[in-house]
């Protein structure tokens, strides 16, 4: 087989099955060189600073380094540019890792994809973006994964609740947007949600609406059961609920003039049957629940290109954090979900277990340190108590000597 034939076959296979492309990849493994690729916004003068670190605990001291928020109660805004792409007719995969090692109480952990014409130095919270994706935590009530698409100038939030991870470990977040208007969200390389863009977001008007000209007919009977017209209340049904106690007797010492007319106490009537109601029978006129007819919505127009963006060229971190310490790492934008899964296993997958072991070890060391400090403090307190007792004994001894000396002096004076 000639080299030319092999090349032609390679091109043919690539054209049939598609070609994997990596549009952006950032793992922060070259020290401070990240500063040449990332631009911090100057829109505000008080943005928080990102630092390059692996944090307090990690799976690999070099591979685990990322951008960490470093100042509490601050907005953060930084972005990195890549060659502009369009996801027309192809899958778009966005992936990155987030580590809330500070045990975050309130703050964002998401990324934004922007059009290529974004002015990075002026990026801010109201800058137009294409997609916003990632975890957001604020108190016990908000622990969700944002999946927000900008469609025709308006940001649309997903109608489903996707819960994010809220522990202190590194987690992998992946969004897959397909050209058939379907999507998938993965956390730690496991699918947690999927579906249709049209069904799970309010991009388009409803396909069907209630017919404004339809009304329920006046003779439409929705009662499934009715009273039996043949059923009659028994003549002996109506009796009092309570009756005078037949066994009660007027006390011998009862004086009608003094005490008034004696009346026996009331008791429940054993013959009382409650309120009479006729039996229920099937309603011969029952037609079922009336359903309002629907018609095609004249304002609805299908859009097979909801998923599509003509320009994607900047990835950004634009967020607020009350307690800083979140580390962002392992950014990947590609058109190949399988490749993203492999990269996730090579990065997050390779460091997650060592990271947990290191955290467990540090916590054990901290526990032993606290115990040792408690023991030392206890010993110091005991030593201090002993010293105090010795001082008290010495003071008592000195007092006794002084008393003896005073007594001796007094005796000598008496003898003289």
DSSP 94: E
Query: Which residues have a Cβ under 8 Å from the Cβ of 153 and sit 6 or more positions away?
Result: 128
How far apart (Å, rounded) are the C-alpha atoms in residues 109 and 96?
10
Query: Which residues have a Cβ under 8 Å from the Cβ of 305 and sit 6 or more positions away?
Result: 88
Domains of the chain: total: 1
Give the pLDDT confidence score for residue 121 in this predicted structure.
97
Whole-structure pTM value? 0.76
151 is in an annotated binding site: no
In a domain, 224, yes or no: no
The two three-digit tokens of residue 33, written as one number: 């060189």
Quickly list DSSP for 226-240.
Answer: EE-TT----TT----
In a domain, 378, yes or no: no
CA distances from 126 to 50, 77, 131, 219, 318 (A): 21, 12, 13, 56, 10
Give the pLDDT confidence score for residue 123 in this predicted structure.
98
In a domain, 92, yes or no: yes
110 is in an annotated binding site: yes
CA atoms within 13 A on the CB side of 252: 0
Give the pLDDT confidence score for residue 4 in this predicted structure.
37
DSSP H helical ranges for 244-285: 256-259
Run of H or E including 103: none
In a domain, 373, yes or no: no
* Residues of the chain where predicted confidence (pLDDT) is lower than 70: 1-18, 397-399, 408-416
Whether the CB-CB separation of 106 and 322 falls below 8 Å is answered with yes
Give the pLDDT confidence score for residue 393 in this predicted structure.
73
Give the pLDDT confidence score for residue 78 in this predicted structure.
98
Q: Which of 335, 325, 316, 347 is nearest to 172 (CA)?
A: 347
Name the 3-class secondary structure at 371. Answer: helix
In a domain, 125, yes or no: yes
In a domain, 405, yes or no: no
How far apart (Å, rounded) are the C-alpha atoms in residues 185 and 173?
8
Q: What is the CATH number of the domain that holds 37?
A: 2.60.120.200
In a domain, 172, yes or no: yes
In a domain, 211, yes or no: no
The phi and psi torsions of 361 (rounded to 5 degrees) equal: -65, -45
Structural domain range at position 187:
22-203+305-361
360 is in an annotated binding site: no
- The region that residue 254 occupies, defined by phi over 0 for left and psi between -120 and 50 for alpha, beta otherwise, is beta
The tens digit of pLDDT for each residue in 136-189 reads 999 999 999 999 999 999 999 999 999 999 999 999 999 999 999 999 999 999
Give the pLDDT confidence score for residue 269 in this predicted structure.
87
The tens digit of pLDDT for each residue in 55-67 reads 999 999 999 999 9
Whether the CB-CB separation of 48 and 76 falls below 8 Å is answered with yes
112 is in an annotated binding site: yes
Query: Which residues have a Cβ under 8 Å from the Cβ of 279 and sit 6 or more positions away?
Result: 227, 228, 231
Quickly list DSSP for 78-99.
Answer: EEEEEEEE--TTS-EEEEEEEE
Whether the CB-CB separation of 134 and 112 falls below 8 Å is answered with no
Rounded to a whole number of angstroms, the distance between the first and last alpha carbons of the chain is 139
Give the pLDDT confidence score for residue 147 in this predicted structure.
98
Whether the CB-CB separation of 159 and 89 falls below 8 Å is answered with no
Q: Which of 42, 43, 38 is nearest to 52 (CA)?
A: 38
Neighbours of 364 (CB within 10 A): 10
Name the 3-class secondary structure at 148. Answer: strand
């Amino acid at each position: 087989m000639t080299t030319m034939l092999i090349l032609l076959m390679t091109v043919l296979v690539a054209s049939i099955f598609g070609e994997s492309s990596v549009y952006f990849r950032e793992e922060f493994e070259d020290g401070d060189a990240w500063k040449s690729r990332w631009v911090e916004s100057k829109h505000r003068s008080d943005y928080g600073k990102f630092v390059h670190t692996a944090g307090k605990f990690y799976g690999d001291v070099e591979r685990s380094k990322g951008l960490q928020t470093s100042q509490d109660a601050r907005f953060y805004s930084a972005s990195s540019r890549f060659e502009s792409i369009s996801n027309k007719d192809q899958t778009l995969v966005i992936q990155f890792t987030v580590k809330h090692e500070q045990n975050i109480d309130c703050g964002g952990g998401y990324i934004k994809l922007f059009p290529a014409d974004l002015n990075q130095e002026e990026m801010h919270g109201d800058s137009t973006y294409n997609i916003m994706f990632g975890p957001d935590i604020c108190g016990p009530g908000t622990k969700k994964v944002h999946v927000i698409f900008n469609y025709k100038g308006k940001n649309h939030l997903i109608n489903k609740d996707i819960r994010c991870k809220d522990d202190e470990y590194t987690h992998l977040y992946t969004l897959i947007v397909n050209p058939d208007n379907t999507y998938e969200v993965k956390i730690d390389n496991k699918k947690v949600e999927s579906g249709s863009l049209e069904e799970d977001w309010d991009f388009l008007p409803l396909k069907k609406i209630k017919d404004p000209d339809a009304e329920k007919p006046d003779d439409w009977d929705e009662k499934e059961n009715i009273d039996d017209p043949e059923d009659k209340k028994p003549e002996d049904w109506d009796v009092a609920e309570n009756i005078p106690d037949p066994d009660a007797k007027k006390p011998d010492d009862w004086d009608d003039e003094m005490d008034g007319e004696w009346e026996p106490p009331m008791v429940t009537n054993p013959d009382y049957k409650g309120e009479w109601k006729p039996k229920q029978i099937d309603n011969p006129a029952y037609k079922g629940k009336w359903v309002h007819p629907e018609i095609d919505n004249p304002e609805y127009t299908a859009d097979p290109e909801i998923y599509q963006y003509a320009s994607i060229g900047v990835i950004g971190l634009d967020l607020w954090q009350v307690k800083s310490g979140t580390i962002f790492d392992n950014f990947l934008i590609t058109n190949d979900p399988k490749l993203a899964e492999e990269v996730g296993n090579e990065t997050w997958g390779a460091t997650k277990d060592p990271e947990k072991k290191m955290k467990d070890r540090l916590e054990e060391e901290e526990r032993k340190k606290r115990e040792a400090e408690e023991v030392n403090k206890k010993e110091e307190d005991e030593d201090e108590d002993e010293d105090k007792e010795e001082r008290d004994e010495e003071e008592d001894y000195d007092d006794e000597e002084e008393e003896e000396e005073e007594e001796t002096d007094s005796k000598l004076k008496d003898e003289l």
